[in-house]
Amino acid sequence: MSTLLEVSGVSKSFDGFKAINNLSFQIGEPEMRAVIGPNGAGKTTFMDIVTGKTKPDEGTVLFGEKSQSLLKLSESQIAQVGIGRKFQRPTVFEDQSVSDNLMMALKKDRSPWAVLRFRPAREDHAAVARLADEIGLTDQLTRKAGELSHGQKQWLEIGMLLAQDPRLLLVDEPAAGMTPAEREHTTDILVEAAKTRAVVVVEHDMEFVRRLNCKVTVLHEGSVLAEGSLDHVTANERVIEVYLGR
Amino acid sequence: MTDTPSLFPKYAGGLGAGPQSRPFIARHPSVLIFIACLALFTLCVTILSEGFGIGVVSTSFVKTLGKTLCLCMVALAMDLVWGYCGILSLGHMAFFGIGGYAIGMWLMYARTEIIVVQSLAAAPLPPTAGEISQGIATQIFGVVGASEFPPIWAFAHSLPLQLAAIVIVPGLLALVFGWLAFRSRVTGVYLSILTQAMTLALSLYLFQNDSGLRGNNGLSGLQNLPGLGDVPQSTVSIWFLWASALALGLAYLLCAWIVSGKFGSVIRAIRDDEARVRFLGYSVEAYKLTIFTLTAVIAGIAGALYYPQAGIINPAEIAPIASIYLAVWVAIGGRGRLYGAVIGAAFVSLVSTWFTGGQAPDINLGFYTISWVDWWTVLLGFSFVVVTLFAPKGIGGLIDLVPSPNRHGADLGPDAGSLRESEADR
Amino acid sequence: MSPSAHLGRVHMQRLLAFFLCLMLALPAAAQDADAPIQQVMQTHADLIAKASRRTIQTAIDALTASGLPAAQEVMERWQDKEMWQDETTGLFVFVEEIDRDTIRIFDISDGTDLGEVPDDSYKQLKPNSGVRGLIAAGLVKFQLFDDSPAIRRLALDAIARDPEQGHLAALRDVIADEPSPALAAIMTRLERLLTIEFGDDEAEKIAAIAHFDGDLGVDARAALNPLVTTRIEVGEAVPEGPEVLRTLRPGDEALPKTQAYQLLVDADLAPPLIPASEVREALIRNIDGSTVAGVQVASLNTDRARNAAFATLVAEGLAEPAATEEEIDTALAAYQFFEVFIGAPPTVALAAKDVLSGIETKLALNQTADLALDAISLASIYFLAAIGLAITFGVMGVINMAHGEFIMMGAYTGYVVQLFVPDHTLSILLAIPLAFMVTFAAGVAMERLVIRWLYHRPLETLLATFGVSIALQQLAKNIFGTQARPLTAPGWLDGSMVINDVVSISYIRIAIFILALIFLALFLIVMNRTRLGLEVRAVTQNPRMAASMGINPDRINMLTFGFGSGIAGIAGVAIGLYAKVTSEMGSDYIVQSFMTVVVGGVGNIWGTLLGAAMVGSMQKGIEFLNPSNTLAAQTYMILFIILFIQFRPRGIIALKGRAAEA
């Protein structure tokens, strides 16, 4: 298992408030990692930095075998090197059909000219169908995404992430607002995905994290408080103090 | 990248209805209907015209109809850039005007050349090229007190080069402006204001006498085709009607083809949630730039067909208000659907012509007479507010009342998408 | 000449009263032919009778030099064409016309009434305007000695307007005795100006010139500039001497070759150039059937062919050869070109040049200061126009395209108020709160009816408010017509504060500046010191949280929008005072207002202030560099702003923090 993403010494402050403070983080490929932490611990800012939405004040973010720095890349370039992100609230293109959403996400040449000439081939349809099957939306392919239920939108978004075929998947609270059955399905999808790639799940729900059964990183005040198995970190005094103790 | 027609209908079943596997026209019946309507319209006008038919429709009305087709075409461009891509450009009439100026320069040059050569033919010595050029320059620029050709007229003598300019100049301007604006991630209302500033700057520049384009006199006499002085305007007007109809048809096909594919998906996605599209790995700026430039070119071509029918172009045509009216047409017609833009432009501009042309009957209230020449703009302004508030889908939205399984077009306006985005950020 | 004419009238009234008394005592008196003044007049009788501008000065000088108390009145009456000459005796009399044929005559020495006589033997002296001017100049000398400072002041003004050689001596005589220091200062200055123009020796002139070092007066520059005029001359060699300013080479910027050659031609040093058209004309002259010089006419459609045919004509002796480039160059090389002072002796000219260059420097500094004042006043107008927009845009995120029409509405409110209240001070004081109320109401109505349905749909708000803007503009046109309506400022705002001849600023602009300051203060107080401001800030930052704390965001939005619109109304009154009120005035300011807000940065009043300062000073700066073309100035300014947005997309003062990152 080689290191895929290496974040080291990253800091970021907004108007004097240190959202991220000298954070260092590593993940290998394939690996599943859960990131937990109280509100304001810097989880979202951490993802913003990795995906290029926010530029850090200092520190380095390296990706892949060639240790490519992500700091100089734009959001779309970062996505193209193989980092996918799922937002906390489902953001799918509600005006378009499920298959359009998936087709857009398929890993293809993304330059305007290529996209302009693109007409889906048989294997593209097949790929969309396979993904739809994986996320359980085969019957909904022609429906507009806006008509889907909340959970279905979450899955569609995960499906779009998988369609991108990223090497690193950042997932922000995937199980929020789901029924227990939906949660189980979501867990399965994520666990399956983590077999071939790196997956970082930010989650509040301890039950969900426990079911993922993976290494856990605890963030607090913008830096790593503890790291290890869930049992290990929950036994940590400081973690109990700042997080579970609340 | 091969197209798959209905080779695998069974497989398509697995995809649901498999809308992608049928031919383009079959998937988009509205395109066929539109083209048919356009052809029928052109045929009817031709038959009813003075030049080629029974003479029921006057030549000036044929010109009005031809101009309306050009306005529909620029509305199509506006719909693509605003309704589909979410960029509320208040500058597309500037590109339209540039197209008009580009063709106008050639028309004016070539026609003046004929006049000058004729007048010099009576001279004892045959004229030199320099004398002819001098004569043309004096004729054209005498009105602004100049007698030299400004550098931008360097290619005015050549029809192919000026035709190229119709495409290249608006395209290049849009490319440079768009690159600057999109690169620094100017979006939403900021971008609208910036495009408006661009239009204002251009029109103010053209208003100067030393702009090289005859200041506020503009270019005139464009309805006369050089070398075709014998052909009556009734015939020329029909030629232009055909050309406008053809251009509109082609532009419609092009736009429909663009928005029906994955490119259309991407730009609509940009409209609805630009940040999300970035995280999908698409370079939003490149797409916006492509659409902005492409639509600028379409607008330029539309302008080049419009102004020979209008006969005159001056900087007032480029004033910011013109672009605002363009947005009004598209909004009233229904943005996010191509036929909506066309319906809006045709409906509003023709009704405007009717009202402001003094043909509409005045309403006598006893104590006050409502003269539509004065009150039409007030009515238009307020009805625009009403449409924005209560009928964001515009006239085109009426089509949705007819049930149909094969509908493309947006249910949610551009702003509904930005609503989600702004909420997500809170 | 009106002051002296007026003086004449005053004197006449006095005299008439005096004569009335006399007439009662002395029914008739003989004309005094030996009175000293009559003697002086008789000496120059011919000159006076046939006065012409060229010759009359002698007579006038004699009169002024005579020192006679009657001389002044004689000159005044002469100037007013009230002096006649008795054709039989040649004596001069004052005349009052009774009717067509009868006149009443008075002695010129003491005004004695000599009775009514027929006018047959008398001839009216009708000095022409040139002569009258000289008489007036002569009269000035008397006025300089007058007891009344006002009259002396008028005399000085007359001298300054139309200086004469003779004034110099007169001025020098009176300066020492002038009791009023202010008048003495004017006299001293005038004396120096006259010395520069009429002074006798160079030293005197140079001394006078030196006094004007750094003087910004237009009159100083007007007096100095003629001294430094130069002319370009040509000769075999550059003469030695101080009058030569510099030598020039043909082809320099100051001396294009064609001009240099023309100098040679004018000095008969070279044959005149044959114009290009001569080739054509020579060819036309020599057309023989269908050929010229053996060449087919039809083939002469290029310059090359024409020149070839012309060369043939020259060879045949049928045309004058044109000078070639080389010949011109040779001719030019044979002579020297140099610039000489022609306005004054070189020492004086150099002194003047020195002082002038000092003045230029100071002038430039002062012009910069003037420009800065202009820029500040423009900036305050933009600030006033933009502040309402900044409130609605910054606080509510709403673009109000009808903002310009609210400005217009405020201005028309002022106009309507002035229709009912004629007193300008009172009407403006009434108009300001009324304009606020009207536009506040309009703003609230628009917010309630339109904008609140469109929150979070910024583009549609933009369009809907555009619709309102179009409608309001046309509405104003329908009600008030297309012609501009006046909004008159109170009298005490007329005029300018003049700091010196270059720097001045009109009071109205100062008033607008102060108004802008008041608004800045008002805004800061409302936002930072009141409950409303607190609630507005709360709603801006987090509407949901604010709502949960019992603040009604609906109410706050409504009030904010009304407040912003109300300020636009007041700005309208201010702008209307300084520009005209038309239905399109709003659209004239809307783009600049947006630029101000965008350049300054949204959501910060200081940003708006900086934005206004930047847009205003930039516009003035560009106008200064290209004064003939304000359209181009606006074009360049907009382009600059488009570029500026590239580098600071969020304006000068950008909001920081997470909200801005989003």
Q: B72: domain range?
A: 63-322
* pLDDT: which is higher, B157 or B407: B157
The pLDDT-based confidence of B425 (bands split at 50, 70, 90) is very low
Could you report the per-residue pLDDT of B304-322, keeping only the tens digit for each? 999 999 999 999 999 888 9
B111-115, C464-468, C655-659: segment of lowest average pLDDT: C655-659
Asked if residues B71 and B353 have their Cβ atoms less than 8 Å apart, the reply is: no
Identify the pLDDT of residue B1: 37
Q: Report cis status (omega within 30 of 0) of the bond before A30.
A: yes
pLDDT at B88 over 50: yes
Is the pLDDT at B9 greater than 60? The verdict is no
Q: How far apart are CA C607 and CA C596, in angstroms?
A: 9
Q: State residue C297's pLDDT score.
A: 81
Closest CB from A79, A118, A144 relative to B262: A118
> Is a pLDDT exceeding 60 seen at residue B415?
no
Contact C658 A53 (CB under 8 A): no
Cβ-defined contact of A119 to B276 (cutoff 8 Å): no
Which pLDDT belongs to residue A243?
A: 66
Determine which of B274-288, C29-43, C70-84 has the lowest per-residue pLDDT on average.
C29-43
Nearest-Cα residue of chain B relative to residue C277: B131
Identify the band that residue B421 occupies on the pLDDT scale cut at 50, 70 and 90.
very low
Q: Which residues of C419-436 are buried (b: 16+ CB within 10 A; e: fewer)?
A: eeeeebeebbebbbebbb
- DSSP letter for each residue of B320-355: HHHHHHHHHHHHHH-TTSHHHHHHHHHHHHHHHHHH
pLDDT reading at B249 higher than 90: yes
Both tokens of residue C73? 């009145």
Q: Find the length of chain B.
A: 426
Does B272 contact chain A (CB < 8 Å)?
A: yes
The pLDDT-based confidence of B70 (bands split at 50, 70, 90) is very high
Question: What token pair was written down for A215?
Answer: 């290494």
Task: Specify the higher pLDDT residue, B121 or C19.
Answer: B121
Report the side by side order of strands in the sheet with C244-248.
C230-235, C336-341, C244-248
Pairing of strands A31-36, A198-202: parallel
C-alpha distances in Å from residue B18, one per residue of A97, A140, A145, A146, B8: 12, 12, 16, 19, 10
Is residue B10's pLDDT more than 50?
no
The DSSP line for C537-548 is HHHHH-HHHHHH
Statement: residue B300 has pLDDT above 50: yes
C283 touches chain B (CB under 8 A): yes
List pLDDT tens digits, range C7-27: 455 555 665 555 554 444 444
- Partnered with residue C506 across adjacent β-strands are C496
Query: Mean of the pLDDT values across residues B158-172?
Result: 94
Mean pLDDT rounded to a whole number for chain C: 81
Interchain CB contact of C541 with A (< 8 Å)? no
pLDDT beyond 80 at A189? yes
Instruction: Please report residues of A whose CB lies closer than 8 A to that of B80.
Output: none
Domain boundaries, chain C: 2-135, 145-228, 274-318, 373-583
pLDDT at B18 over 60: no
End-to-end CA distance of chain C: 76
Reported confidence tier of residue B72, pLDDT bands at 50, 70, 90: very high
In this predicted structure, what is the pLDDT of residue B43?
94
A115 close contact with B: CB closer than 8 A: yes
pLDDT at residue number C30: 59
Confidence at B418, pLDDT banded by 50, 70, 90: very low
Q: What pLDDT score was predicted for residue C12? A: 57
Distance between start and end Cα atoms, chain A: 36
Q: What percent of chain B has pLDDT over 70?
A: 89
Mapped onto helix, strand or coil, the DSSP state of residue B7 is: coil
pLDDT at C654: 62
- Which chain B positions have a beta carbon within 8 Å of C642's beta carbon? 177, 180-181, 194, 197-198, 201
- Select the residue from B272, B280, B295 to test the A interface by mutation, using most A Cβ atoms within 10 A: B280
pLDDT at B343: 92
Is the pLDDT confidence value at B6 over 70? no
Name the pLDDT band for C468 (thresholds 50, 70, 90). Answer: very high
Q: What is the rounded distance in angstroms from the CA atom of residue C238 to the CA atom of residue C247?
A: 7
pLDDT computed for residue C255 by the predictor: 81
Please count the CA atoms within 13 angstroms of the CA of B237 that sit on its side-chain side: 26
Mean pLDDT throughout B373-387? 87
Contact B278 A74 (CB under 8 A): yes
The two tokens of residue A167 are 């090497």
pLDDT band at C29 (very low <50, low <70, confident <90, very high): very low
Q: How confident is the model at residue C657 (pLDDT cuts 50, 70, 90)?
A: very low
- Answer whether residue B2 shows pLDDT above 50: no
Asked whether the beta carbons of C216 and C502 are under 8 A apart, the reply is yes
Contacts with C23 (C-beta within 8 Å, 6 or more apart), sequence order: C113
B173 vs B96: CA distance, rounded Å: 12
More confidently predicted of B65 and B6? B65
* Confidence grade of residue C658 (pLDDT, cut at 50, 70, 90): very low
Query: pLDDT higher for B285 or B212?
Result: B285
Q: Is C54 near chain A, with CB under 8 Å?
A: no
Domain A2-244, second-level architecture: 3-Layer(aba) Sandwich (3.40)
Residue A66 CB coordination number (10 Å) = 8
Confidence category of residue C234, pLDDT binned at 50, 70, 90: confident
The better pLDDT of the pair B277, B24 is held by B277
Kindly state the average pLDDT of the residues A24-29. 87
More confident position, B300 or C359: B300
Evaluate whether residue B4 is within a structural domain.
no
* Structure confidence by residue, pLDDT tens digits, A64-75: 888 888 888 888
| Residue B143 clears pLDDT 50, i.e. is over it | yes
Q: What is the pLDDT of residue B408?
A: 44
Would you say residue C467 has pLDDT above 70? Answer: yes
Helix axes C325-333, C257-266, angle to 10 degrees: 70
Place of tokens 């100026």: B101
pLDDT at site B286: 94
A164 touches chain B (CB under 8 A): yes
A147 touches chain B (CB under 8 A): no
The pLDDT of residue C15: 57
Mean pLDDT, rounded, for C80-105? 84
Judged against a pLDDT cut of 70, whether residue C522 lies above it is answered with yes
Q: Do C460 and B392 touch (CB under 8 A)?
A: yes
Residue C9: the pLDDT is 55
Whether A143 has a pLDDT exceeding 60, the answer reads yes
Residue (of C107, C106, C158) closest to C135 by Cα position: C158
pLDDT at residue B424, rounded to an integer: 35
Look at residue B98 in the predicted model and tell me its pLDDT: 95
**Phi and psi (nearest 5°) for C523?**
-60, -45
Residues B132-146, mean pLDDT to the nearest whole number: 85
> What are the chain A neighbours of B15 within 8 Å (beta carbons)?
99, 125, 128-129, 141-142
> Does residue B416 lie in a domain region?
no
pLDDT at C439 over 90: yes
Q: Tell me what pLDDT residue C90 has.
A: 81
Whether B219 is in a domain gets the answer yes
Q: Using one digit for the tens of pLDDT, what is the confidence trace for C93-145?
A: 888 888 888 888 888 888 788 888 888 888 888 888 778 777 877 777 777 77
CB contact under 8 Å between A76 and B283, yes or no, is: yes
C contact residues 232-261, partner B, Cβ 8 Å cutoff: none
CA distances from A174 to A73, A144, A157, C467 (A): 26, 21, 10, 44
Total of domains in chain B? 1
Which of B9-23, C347-361, C536-550 is the least confident region?
Answer: B9-23
Which positions in chain C touch A14 (Cβ < 8 Å)? 656-658, 661
Question: CB count, 10 Å around CB of C620?
Answer: 22
pLDDT class for B423, splitting at 50, 70, 90?
A: very low
Number of Cβ atoms within 10 Å of the Cβ of B154: 10
Cross-chain Cβ contact C661/A15 below 8 Å: no
Residues 129-148 of C with CB under 8 A from B: none
CA proximity to A12, closest of A61, A60, A56, A72: A56
> Is A79's Cβ below 8 Å from some Cβ in B?
yes
| pLDDT confidence tier of residue B69, bands split at 50, 70 and 90 | very high
Contact C549, C454 (CB under 8 A): no
Dihedral angle, C-alpha C352, C356, C358, C363, nearest 10 °: 160
Candidates A47, A49, A70, A95, partner chain B, best to mutate (most B CBs within 10 A): A95
pLDDT above 90 as % of chain C: 7
